[in-house]
Amino acid sequence: MNNDVSLVSPLAPARFPSLPAIAGLEAAIGRAGFYKHERPDLLLMRAPPETQAAGVFTTNAVGSAPTDWCKRALAESKGRARGLLVNAGCANAFTGADGDAACKRSLEAAATRLGLTPDEMMAASTGVIGVVLDDSKIARALPAMETGPVDWLTAAQAIGTTDTFPKGAGAACEIGGTKINIAGIAKGSGMIAPDMATMLAFVFTDAALSAAALDTMLREECETSFNSITVDGDRSTNDCVLLFATGASKMPSIADAKDDRLSGFRASLSQVLADLAIQIVRDGEGATKLVTVSVSGAASHASAKKIARTICESPLVKTAIAGEDANWGRIVAAVGRADEPIVRKQLSVRFGDLWAAKNGAVAPDYNEAAMSAYMKRPELEIAVIVGPGEGRARMFTCDLTKRYIEINGDYRS
């Protein structure tokens, strides 16, 4: 987490939100010393015995020791997980057998500290790739870390790397007349792209839900949240979203994600995931603009999403937005190189309420002055119609500025 207040993203929320308490959940936050400056870099969490969990992980083929551990542990336990250990400052990715062993040792130490077994633990790491985790630092820090009620703000600060502000979101709903709370934190600023979007998110609820139901809902809701954001088109080795249900609300357990009683919960979960995902885009490295790109008229939803992603990840589009230039020709070019079916004579581009192109040509009422004024806004909406189809998609991105180069050029130095 960047401690220089002057560098906080101009798109940051005014304040960290007040998140609801999740019954039975405890946390401990400390400093293992993965950074030279004073900052928390270690988060330890413990949930009640009934807790069920699910996860969605990066599709990056390199992966990492912690994502490998989580996928294996969730599969072997059929979704039972009570502990979480997160470190910032070292990704422990592309580290081979030594990295796997370090991950295991750190979880053994964390499990002992929490009175759990290693197979009940989830792991997440973020930071520099190619460096083996120094688990001895974690082992030394754990004894001094006292567990207690979750301080969501400090927890969010502990997991950040190049983040300029802590990210949290919460919601409340009802399931069968029982009040249910949802709270989550996330980190991410750069190396963000769909499938998963370097990004970590941890969401907790006191609902009583099966691991299978959690898995289904998490995968579906991630498609319109974490898998619909992109900052720079780089997919990290360590991305993961973990969802835990403690069951502490004492509601009757629900096993099927399609159960009608879950409609309110699903809407609230979707809200929390989308909020966290968009906060990551707001904190895109060097970002000054939050951009929503909507594509309609495509041959399919998947086709629309591919077109939207091509627009969002075009350096030419992103730098034009940084320069507050409504260069709609770059958007049209991006649509064309997405290699998806389009009807050129119907291709139209709109910025907010202002049409730049209509039906395959410049809009008759195009107004350069009005367009330039619109582009000065911190939040922009770009809508693209590519044909008569029913496929549609929405993605979120940011502009590309000189600050992005500065941040990533100095990342290891």
The alpha carbon of residue 219 and the mean position of all alpha carbons in its chain are separated, in whole angstroms, by 13
The alpha carbon of residue 124 and the mean position of all alpha carbons in its chain are separated, in whole angstroms, by 13
3-state secondary structure of 282: helix
Gap between the Cα atoms of 55 and 74, Å rounded: 8
Gap between the Cα atoms of 124 and 43, Å rounded: 10
Residue at token pair 């389009």 = 342
3-state secondary structure of 238: coil
Q: Report how many helices (DSSP H) and strands (DSSP E) the chain contains, helices first.
A: 11, 16
* Residue-by-residue DSSP string for 361-373: EE-TT--HHHHHH
Say if CB 27 and CB 244 are below 8 A apart.
no
Say if CB 25 and CB 204 are below 8 A apart.
yes
Helix axes 315-322, 328-336, angle to 10 degrees: 160
Closest by CA position to 52, among listed 21, 26, 74, 20: 74
Say if CB 222 and CB 196 are below 8 A apart.
yes
Active site residue 198: yes
The burial of 153, by beta-carbon neighbours within 10 Å (0-12 exposed, 13-18 middle, 19 or more buried), is given as middle
Say if CB 306 and CB 255 are below 8 A apart.
no
Gap between the Cα atoms of 387 and 242, Å rounded: 38
Candidate list 198, 237, 292, 401, residue with the active-site label: 198
The count of C-alpha atoms lying within 13 angstroms of the C-alpha of 64, restricted to the half-sphere facing its C-beta, is 30
310, containing H or E segment: helix 301-312
Which tokens in the block code for residue 232? 């720079």
By annotation, the residues acting in catalysis are 198
